[in-house]
Amino acid sequence: MRSDRFHCFRVLAALMAAAIVGGCAAHASVSVPPAGRPIHVDIPKGHMPPPGECRIWYPELPPGQQPPPGDCHELEHRVPVGAVLVGG
C-alpha cells in the first residue's frame, strides 16, 4: 500500500508542477510512469477538481464522463490500474 500512496503523491506533484509551469493553460498535461508504461493525461482546465479536492481520471473516458471530484484522502485508496488521481 505504501507504494500506491507514493504513486498517488507523484501524480499529484507532477500535476501541480504542470499547473504551475502552464500558468493559464487551457489543459493540464502530464506523463506519469506507473507500473511499467507511461500514461499521458490531457485534462481540460474546466474539468480540474477544485482546490483541496481530487478526482480519479480515466484517460480512456471523455471529460464529461469522468467521476465527480471528492475528498483526496478517500479517493487515493480507490484509484484503479490505468487511472490517475488528479489534485486541484
Residue 64 in this model has a pLDDT that exceeds 60? yes
Neighbours of 8 (CB within 10 A): 20
Helices (H) and strands (E) counted in the chain, each on its own, are 2, 4
Ranges 23-27, 32-36, 54-58, most confident:
54-58
Cell of 63: 471529460
pLDDT of amino acid 84: 92
**Domain limits of the chain?**
2-87
pLDDT of amino acid 53: 95
Q: How much is the pTM?
A: 0.59
CA distance 87 to 12: 6
